[in-house]
Structure 1
């Protein structure tokens, strides 16, 4: 029986089973993407559960923090102690039924638990084995622990802030965790496509540092690409002037990069003579005089309200949108209208309904559709159903569920 039949899911990855032993953010981001594409993601949690159940903000229900809810939608949860014989027995059966295994354990832990690619491929030659690590094998940092802040500081993300703000800062969200999670999901999908051509799976290594450093350097190598002492940093971005622009009543985001857009912008602000200004006549000229160009934009935006400028700039086909605070983002009509941000109902411990804000699939698939949006699972919520799918009888399910509960205590 396919996992698509078991879960009733739709989407381009319907029928693909993913074993997810990751925790916190980077791995759950990757498997969330796969789940939202229809994969049956089985979240294999240790006896203490994913740390994000407790770390991700104050929960309404124990073990269901806000961040955990948003990073673990559309997944199923089973609690397994992979250090025990019973846990390994269940894991072996899961591996035999799976298409993908995802982990952010270090190599030594994978080896000791029998979760290496070689061990899994001996059971299931079609398995795609993805390890998300801090650092690639072969370098001096291999095997070292890594968190988002470590990677932001090491990869140059914090240095980009220093160029603009005068001091190194971390981005105010786990940027590299999200970035690498997306990369891992893409790599897994590529490996699944490759498996269809070759008939066999493969091991994937997705290192956080190398991916984040490549992300920064592809943007900011600039002239250092050609010259040993060349300038680094895109001057359009590495400037304090690259920011939302103040209007008479708030802020606006404007981007006029092409020659057509720049000329339209000058018309919109009532400065058509600037179209012939040598500083602004081409992309190359505006790049060389980027501070002057930004100063013109900033001065002009002060003369009207945000709403007025949005209407004027749209009429001239210049990309512009209002600036949102975190609070006003919740009222954005596009997010509400597209169904990405929506009110959802969950039941509390007293079985009473309460409202929460939910995040649903942003992407659409015309042929396969998207799976029904499901709330994040309670700890071990689907353990009995998953064990039944693996062929364990009632007595064995009670035994294994009891061991998991004992371990959790």
Structure 2
């Protein structure tokens, strides 16, 4: 056990203990990926430029320490380096030369100008897993275009999927930094796969994670649908997800996701509200529902009867009959839910400069090598002197 910067006693190490990661990324995608590696035990050094947009924000106790920074930059040490200054650029190269994994999201032209592209540093550290993530493939005609979560959602078809499902008129992005976080998870598993190769062979490699390609592949798993065949046997779009009525149902005291998937599920719902007549509807006479021919109408019919019971009553009905169910909780309610509290998915810790802060837990568990929150998000450049002293020690 060890005492982290939060003051709390936490398990020492993790499955990535002994792995060094250099986080040369900004905003959310790369930093979130590096944080996950840090949660799993890696020593993550964040090279911070004089300005990083993720440190902007009006909700803070200390300037430069807003919630988004706190939630994507824990378990890291921060060093301030101005890569346009030669001395600082050389320090960055020293750090990279001793690393296992580098994560960066600069555009390739900027990396080449700084001598930080893969070709330039490969000889200095042939074992390096160099993960480069940006909006579009580097070999495409869009490689030099700026890309943000909203543009990637649009380019990957996600905006269209949301519009078709919700019939919302003007296309809109999902209200989450969705593309960045999906790409971050892809960075993590790609980096770990390359790390296994490095450990087996001693060889590093370049790993490219284009956001648009990543999110498009993610979306197409179910939504390629009829276009999975050539020529197509039907339209794109997964019928179950795009079904009219694929939404929360009104209850006596709120809304809940009551999700009957089989004909038996519908019959059980109708019986629960005292409507055996509806349970005898021919469309629910068999084992499965015809999607989409009958399902949309049946879901609209379900809407007319769900207000007969409270959300708690529906929870009992659905539990009894193995029908998928969840109450629709406001985000602040979800954070206080007994399930969340019981799993320590949100805990309060004392930050050295920010006081009491809520810390998002590590969602996965390991029986032998658990991850841990050893350091809360640092001030910009908080560990500069410490890391420079380590570099000096390595030279001597």
TM (norm. structure 1) is: 0.87
Change over 3 Å in CA distance of 1:268–1:40 after alignment to 2: farther
- The aligned residue for residue 344 of structure 1 is 349
* SS of residue matched to 1:123: coil
**Residue 360 of structure 1 contacts residue 373 of structure 1 at CA under 8 Å; is this kept in 2?**
no
Pair 1:319-2:327 in alignment = no
- Name stretches of at least 5 consecutive residues in structure 2 with no aligned partner: 1-10
Query: Equivalent of 2:55, from 49, 53, 62?
Result: 53
**Residue 261 of structure 2 contacts residue 289 of structure 2 at CA under 8 Å; is this kept in 1?**
no
- The aligned residue for residue 153 of structure 2 is 152
Q: Please list, as runs of the form range in 1=range in 2, the aligned pairs for 1:111-122 lying within 5 A after superposition.
A: 111-122=112-123
Aligned length in residues: 382
Give the whole-Å Cα distance in 1 for the aligned partners of 2:377 and 2:298. 47
Change over 3 Å in CA distance of 1:380–1:160 after alignment to 2: same
* SS of residue matched to 1:285: coil
**Residue 361 of structure 1 contacts residue 373 of structure 1 at CA under 8 Å; is this kept in 2?**
no
Cα RMSD of the aligned pairs, angstroms, is 2.4
Give the whole-Å Cα distance in 2 for the aligned partners of 1:293 and 1:35. 48
- The aligned residue for residue 3 of structure 1 is none
Give the whole-Å Cα distance in 2 for the aligned partners of 1:301 and 1:22. 48
CA deviation vs aligned residue, 1:44-64 (integer Å, no higher than 9, x gap):
00123x211114x42111110
- Name stretches of at least 5 consecutive residues in structure 1 with no aligned partner: 1-7, 397-409
Query: Equivalent of 1:41, from 44, 65, 74?
Result: 44
Shift of the alpha carbon at 1:198?
A: 2.3
- The aligned residue for residue 125 of structure 2 is 124
Shift of the alpha carbon at 1:100?
A: 0.2
- The aligned residue for residue 239 of structure 1 is 243
- The aligned residue for residue 184 of structure 1 is 187
Q: Please list, as runs of the form range in 1=range in 2, the aligned pairs for 1:3-18 lying within 5 A after superposition.
A: 9-18=12-21
Does 175-184 or 270-279 show the bigger shift?
270-279
* SS of residue matched to 2:347: strand
- The aligned residue for residue 217 of structure 1 is 220
Pair 1:257-2:261 in alignment = yes
Give the whole-Å Cα distance in 2 for the aligned partners of 1:86 and 1:178. 33
- The aligned residue for residue 8 of structure 2 is none
- The aligned residue for residue 302 of structure 1 is 307
Give the whole-Å Cα distance in 2 for the aligned partners of 1:258 and 1:206. 39
Give the whole-Å Cα distance in 2 for the aligned partners of 1:26 and 1:109. 18
Pair 1:279-2:283 in alignment = yes
* SS of residue matched to 2:240: coil
Pair 1:170-2:173 in alignment = yes
Shift of the alpha carbon at 1:300?
A: 2.8
Give the whole-Å Cα distance in 2 for the aligned partners of 1:185 and 1:242. 32
- The aligned residue for residue 377 of structure 1 is 378
Give the whole-Å Cα distance in 1 for the aligned partners of 2:108 and 2:288. 48
- The aligned residue for residue 207 of structure 1 is 210
Give the whole-Å Cα distance in 2 for the aligned partners of 1:202 and 1:278. 60
Query: Equivalent of 1:290, from 258, 281, 295?
Result: 295
Shift of the alpha carbon at 1:171?
A: 0.7
Does 264-273 or 87-96 show the bigger shift?
264-273
* SS of residue matched to 2:127: coil
